[in-house]
Amino acid sequence: MGAASGEECCDLAVDSRFDVYPLLTPKDYAAPAVFAPANLLREACRQRGLPEIAVPAVGLLDPDGDIVRHLAASGRGRPHPGWACYHTEMWTVDLDGIEIGVVGMAVGAPFAVLVAEQLTASGAELVLSITSAGQISPIDELPCFVLIEKALRDEGTSLHYQPPARWSHLDAKLRRRLAGAFNHLPEPVWSGSSWTTDAPYRETACAIEAAKLENIACVEMEAAGLYAYAAARNQPVVCFAHVTNTMATEGADFEKGADNGAYEALAVARAAAAALTGGWGSS
């Protein structure tokens, strides 16, 4: 007898409408993955001779890489000797008693979720993400931050973690615990929604107008996938957008401020970590 096919193994009927578009074929969301992040980490440690050292309890994704470049250039950060990722480096920094491990250049939902999985498998208890974003609806004078409470799922990664739906959401308990956490910061942090896209160069006028009609604050590339991962794995993840630009449609754009906004971003990360670390089960 031959080996069972994938369809027979999972006992999932394939809707003929989706035969040519695998992303929308039914998926067994409860099934464990054969290739687990621990497998990759084990092999990376073995091949590279890395020590088994847990990462900080708080991990920060820095898709732009501005924070890690600041940590390296200023001497504030230190490379983590045990970070076993083939694709990235981790820099650790002490922020007034809270150690954070920062991973740069994880751009887009597929890469961000890959790194988030590895952070959790390496010992992180909280994953934060601070990404640059383009303004959709009026928010405030730029630059400013948006705490992303929900993200429009206009990408593919979230569909591998959660059934199809329009939005991915920040966990409600985390949202409540963050209330008031940023009031003391010099650069404002507003709550709002984002549009997560795989294709930034397909942000058409029609798509932008549709997002405005839903009062979406900004467009970015990671939050919907990260929140879907968080819900599927029951892991705490909080995404922020550093809204810096109007997609270069109105002249000089993409300015984050001194040191490319690294100080302000680290202040947001520190405030979030202080509000959330410890007591994950509490409301």
Tell me the C-alpha distance between 227 and 157, whole Å: 10
Per residue in 159-176, pLDDT (tens digit) is: 999 999 999 999 999 999
Write a three-state SS string for the chain. Answer: CCCCCHHHHHCCCCCHHHCCCHHHCCCCCCCCCCCCHHHHHHHHHHHHCCCCCCCCCEEEEECCCHHHHHHHHHCCCEECCCCCCCCCCEEEEEECCEEEEEEECCCCHHHHHHHHHHHHHCCCCEEEEEEEEEECCCCCCCCEEEEEEEEEEECCHHHHCCCCCCEEECCHHHHHHCCCCCCCCCCCEEEEEEEEECCHHHCCHHHHHHHHHCCCCEEECCHHHHHHHHHHHCCCEEEEEEEEECCCCCCCCCCCCHHHHHHHHHHHHHHHHHHHCCCCCCC
Inside any domain, residue 33: no
User: What percentage of the chain has pLDDT greater than the value 70?
Assistant: 89
Work out the pLDDT band at 25, boundaries 50, 70, 90: confident
CATH code, domain with 185: 3.40.50.1580
**Mean pLDDT of all residues in 65-78:** 97
221 pLDDT exceeds 50?
yes
Inside any domain, residue 161: yes
Q: Kindly report the CA angle at 160 between 158 and 165, in degrees rounded to 5?
A: 50
Inside any domain, residue 43: no
Work out the pLDDT band at 16, boundaries 50, 70, 90: low
Bigger pLDDT: 250 or 16?
250
11 pLDDT exceeds 60?
no
Supply 97's token pair. 């008693």
Q: pTM of the predicted model, to two decimals?
A: 0.91
Inside any domain, residue 159: yes
Bigger pLDDT: 24 or 119?
119
Inside any domain, residue 19: no
Weakest mean pLDDT among 3-17, 66-80, 181-195, 255-269: 3-17
214 pLDDT exceeds 60?
yes
Work out the pLDDT band at 1, boundaries 50, 70, 90: very low
Inside any domain, residue 282: no
Q: What residues make up the domain containing 61?
A: 51-276
pLDDT for 141 equals: 84
158 pLDDT exceeds 50?
yes
- Based on the structure, what is the number of domains in the chain? 1
Q: How do beta strands 237-245 and 126-135 pair?
A: parallel
283 Cβ partners below 8 Å, 6+ apart? 173, 176
261 pLDDT exceeds 60?
yes
Inside any domain, residue 25: no
253 pLDDT exceeds 80?
no
**Mean pLDDT of all residues in 84-96:** 96
Bigger pLDDT: 36 or 248?
36
Bigger pLDDT: 162 or 15?
162
Supply 278's token pair. 């410890």
Inside any domain, residue 57: yes
Bigger pLDDT: 206 or 15?
206
pLDDT for 259 equals: 79
Bigger pLDDT: 145 or 25?
145
